[in-house]
Structure 1
């Protein structure tokens, strides 16, 4: 980006803040953009991906993300069958840090409060590894579509998607979550090199407007955090008003929280500390000093864009009675979502039960709690509180739909299962030209001998060749097809197709 395109008010502010570092900071805008991807731990490990030794990718590790890698722009990983198999997520390198600070553990209940388009949500899901519960939310209905698609592409089975104002969530999820991520809306100063339009829009965004919104988000998240839990607050801006000052003010109002410094491994990855000297106003004393344990990523000090993050731990431990009460809502049944129809009677789900018994090799119906709205059926994670009055986009893993007494599996079901969990598989190699044809939506010629057939979970009898087939690339699902008489009818969704 040409530095002459930067707003003069921004450069004046940064010169005052950075002093002798300002020249190096400005020089970073003349450097090329950096590109990153994160291997999807739900489906494979970085070692398994690297073992493929493909010439399509030239990857070098990102030091603060154990599954993150820099790639060369000419690699174009978005134009590769592995992308359509959900083997990785394309993500700006610095944006991978906040979830690393969140320290997600198996079986955690996690909330991504400002989630769209879903990069950090998919990172959290990989950390959970199919355990626990992930609730993702975004207030912008137009952005939620991308969020849903990315979760389905990555193969997440244990999430629900909301499109709700955080203040409406507070009572439903009071003291519910072990971990909460707030990737807060901000003035975006750290993204000027990546997205030049943000620089042009900077003065319209307003640091003051963003600061007020961030203050509310922190307060609202605190009400939904269980005792002993952690909030990670992050921005992609340099503004102290949105970073150090925001955290210091929060600590002044919430002395039960403390800032947790990054682990030694992360601290040694080139990260910088927050700057207490930039805190002014009402925040004083220990609250101001605590921001030295927050984290800044500077583009002139490491290979990434500008970010800020703070890990805030609720230090109070619950009494035994309180611990049970804090999650009492989890025992309530899930209700219909606002704007949705009533759940179907159990008998209406008989076609799903019948389909799963003969088309799958694992007990799908034990994954969670079946809920349905209209003709659509979802598998909801166990322990979700009553969602009455909450705007729900996806009440769970989308399994499929019911049509005139038959069940049609969803694309999300195909992306969420493994090759070993389907009875009928068309295994394609990444070098087979038919994989691109499949991703474009074309019908394929497939000899019966090419199919891998297995017995379903409910029987020892081998499945017939005719029927629903899981199409895979190098062993990883990309979608459904229906095989009959040497032809594979393509069931790949139109909106997902290769262009």
Structure 2
């Protein structure tokens, strides 16, 4: 089998360890905009979960198993935590984004690292997210909204374009590049037709994405390149070509004490790599069960010529809360939902014909090229009023003082398992549905039924939240 022959050449005497490695255990990370560590640890105990702390990130927990599963808890629906692998959390930590910086996530879907970056930025500054796949936009937006990320602008463009569209614009850039996924010997790898020619195809894409990232970074800016692959074709060989041609230097990643961590390779099958690449980090799926990964941190040391694009970026203004276009909408939200307009004073807004978006005051203007969304979707235009989104209702919490409806436990179970439940009332109305006074989403009432849009049917775990 060609794959086994490749793995033998790749790993040598360690091939049996690779083939025998066990999968990475389920890992969950607290979404800091919705929950704190102590509260979440109490919930883990209440759910009867056996867990250990993440070896690097104290706001993340490795589960011994996930029998419930936790994706069927009300806490998951409320965005209090997300699933994100042990290794997958390391690239954003290596990037080390700071509040009030301008940061790019070049290949953002499905959004775990983007949420992590937003949390490290404390939902401040400017976080530009991009992904080239239109199919991945909907789950990416759902994950971002559920976590209450508000400092982001999301584009749907080929990542290779960003460096020319926004040259030397970002303080930090994350390139978690699409890859072969050769990080663990899964059933998927055994089934698929695998060949080394695919590695060259994907490596070319990865190299172009990294070049785009370097162009997009400011001088002295930081770029983190990562893949969930152990192949040198996608990692050291890509970096070797980049270091020969572009003004970047390799910086050490944090000195994490991980049993499965090793430095980047110095050589492989006749290839000799730059000594600096030994500052990169390789994660093996053994001895500890971790997903195979590669992470390198670069710093841009000088400018470089960048060919201008034919159609430069058009910048769209955002509006403050007292803008003549925005203030009537906020007055309508106050009338229907009781939210004081002054609450929105620290934020800025973008509105189109049917939706109002809320973002941070750092985004005075936003790029129009490939624009998908700006920050948190706050409200949707109906015929004569504005309806809060469910993600906004969860984020606003106690700011909502009108149009509230407390659900019974039975109603909550039915809403989350079927998307609807019975409730007296004929005229169409919208409510912020609550449980124990905490908004869980916006429901519509009509013809004796309440309806709630849910991402999937929930077999709701019975706990104190419920």
TM-score, length-normalised on structure 2? 0.83
C-alpha distance in structure 1 between counterparts of 2:384 and 2:95, whole Å: 45
Distance 1:481 1:174, change over 3 A: same
SS in 2 for 1:51: helix
Give the equivalent residue in structure 2 for 1:272.
262
Q: Are positions 1:402 and 2:381 aligned together?
A: yes
What's the CA shift string for 1:31-64, capped at 9, x where partnerless? 3552111111221222221123313433222213
Please point out which of 134, 140, 144 is paired with 2:137.
Answer: 144
What's the CA shift string for 1:92-128, capped at 9, x where partnerless? 2221111111112222222111111112112212222
C-alpha distance in structure 1 between counterparts of 2:128 and 2:437, whole Å: 29
Q: CA RMSD in A?
A: 3.3
- Is contact 2:131-2:156 (8 Å) kept? yes
What's the CA shift string for 1:392-439, capped at 9, x where partnerless? 111332122223331122223223x2423322455679xx44432332
The Cα shift of 1:177 comes to 1.6
C-alpha distance in structure 1 between counterparts of 2:84 and 2:340, whole Å: 34
Give the equivalent residue in structure 2 for 1:458.
none
- Is contact 2:285-2:292 (8 Å) kept? yes
Please point out which of 445, 449, 452 is paired with 1:492.
Answer: 452
Distance 1:396 1:488, change over 3 A: farther
Distance 1:234 1:388, change over 3 A: closer
Give the equivalent residue in structure 2 for 1:341.
none
Distance 1:315 1:44, change over 3 A: farther
Q: Are positions 1:49 and 2:26 aligned together?
A: no
Give the equivalent residue in structure 2 for 1:420.
398
C-alpha distance in structure 1 between counterparts of 2:70 and 2:119, whole Å: 19
Q: Are positions 1:200 and 2:192 aligned together?
A: yes
SS in 2 for 1:305: coil
SS in 1 for 2:316: coil
Give the equivalent residue in structure 2 for 1:5.
none
SS in 2 for 1:140: coil
C-alpha distance in structure 1 between counterparts of 2:98 and 2:438, whole Å: 25
Q: Are positions 1:221 and 2:183 aligned together?
A: no
C-alpha distance in structure 2 between counterparts of 1:106 and 1:27, whole Å: 42
- Is contact 2:161-2:212 (8 Å) kept? no
- Is contact 1:168-1:390 (8 Å) kept? no
The Cα shift of 1:477 comes to 4.1
Q: Are positions 1:249 and 2:241 aligned together?
A: yes
- Is contact 1:471-1:478 (8 Å) kept? yes
- Is contact 2:124-2:362 (8 Å) kept? no
C-alpha distance in structure 2 between counterparts of 1:205 and 1:83, whole Å: 41
Distance 1:394 1:497, change over 3 A: farther
Q: Are positions 1:180 and 2:170 aligned together?
A: no
C-alpha distance in structure 1 between counterparts of 2:328 and 2:455, whole Å: 26
The Cα shift of 1:235 comes to 0.7
Q: Are positions 1:157 and 2:150 aligned together?
A: yes
The Cα shift of 1:233 comes to 0.8
C-alpha distance in structure 1 between counterparts of 2:76 and 2:444, whole Å: 23
Distance 1:433 1:191, change over 3 A: farther
C-alpha distance in structure 2 between counterparts of 1:298 and 1:199, whole Å: 22
C-alpha distance in structure 1 between counterparts of 2:269 and 2:410, whole Å: 59
Give the equivalent residue in structure 1 for 2:441.
479
C-alpha distance in structure 2 between counterparts of 1:279 and 1:403, whole Å: 64
Q: Are positions 1:294 and 2:287 aligned together?
A: no
Greater Cα offset, 58-67 or 350-359: 350-359
What is the total number of aligned residue pairs between the two structures? 438
C-alpha distance in structure 2 between counterparts of 1:41 and 1:376, whole Å: 26
What's the CA shift string for 1:150-198, capped at 9, x where partnerless? 11111112211111112433344222222211111111111542x6257
**Stretches of structure 1 lacking an aligned partner (at least 5 in a row):** 1-7, 318-328, 337-345, 447-466
**Stretches of structure 2 lacking an aligned partner (at least 5 in a row):** 304-311, 460-466
Distance 1:475 1:222, change over 3 A: farther
Greater Cα offset, 178-187 or 61-70: 61-70
Please point out which of 36, 61, 65 is paired with 2:27.
Answer: 36
C-alpha distance in structure 2 between counterparts of 1:492 and 1:271, whole Å: 45
C-alpha distance in structure 2 between counterparts of 1:490 and 1:129, whole Å: 35
Superposition map of 1:97-496 within 5 A:
97-193=90-186, 196=188, 200-203=192-195, 206-255=198-247, 257-264=248-255, 266-268=256-258, 270-278=260-268, 288-315=274-301, 333-334=315-316, 349=326, 351-358=328-335, 359-361=338-340, 363-384=342-363, 390-415=369-394, 417-424=395-402, 432-439=409-416, 440-443=418-421, 469-472=431-434, 477-481=439-443, 490=450, 492-495=452-455
What's the CA shift string for 1:446-498, capped at 9, x where partnerless? 9xxxxxxxxxxxxxxxxxxxx865444567642124799xx997462255553
- Is contact 2:23-2:289 (8 Å) kept? no
The Cα shift of 1:253 comes to 1.4
The Cα shift of 1:294 comes to 0.7
- Is contact 1:245-1:278 (8 Å) kept? no
C-alpha distance in structure 1 between counterparts of 2:364 and 2:370, whole Å: 14
C-alpha distance in structure 1 between counterparts of 2:270 and 2:374, whole Å: 43
SS in 2 for 1:190: coil
Distance 1:308 1:414, change over 3 A: same
C-alpha distance in structure 2 between counterparts of 1:366 and 1:313, whole Å: 37
